[in-house]
Amino acid sequence: MKVGDMVRRVPVDTRDPDRFGLVVDMIQKKCWRTDRDGKNVNWDLILPEPHAVVLFPWNDGTIEIPIIELEEMG
Tell me the average pLDDT across 36-63. 92
> How far, in Å, are 4, 12, 18, 19 from residue 15 at the CA level?
25, 9, 9, 10
Q: Which domain holds residue 53?
A: 6-72
Q: Bigger pLDDT: 48 or 17? A: 48
pTM: 0.83
The verdict on residue 1 lying in a domain is no
Q: Hey, what long-range contacts does 28-33 have (CB within 8 A, 24 or more apart)?
A: 29/64, 29/66, 31/66
Q: Is the pLDDT of residue 2 over 80?
A: yes
Q: How many domains does the chain have?
A: 1
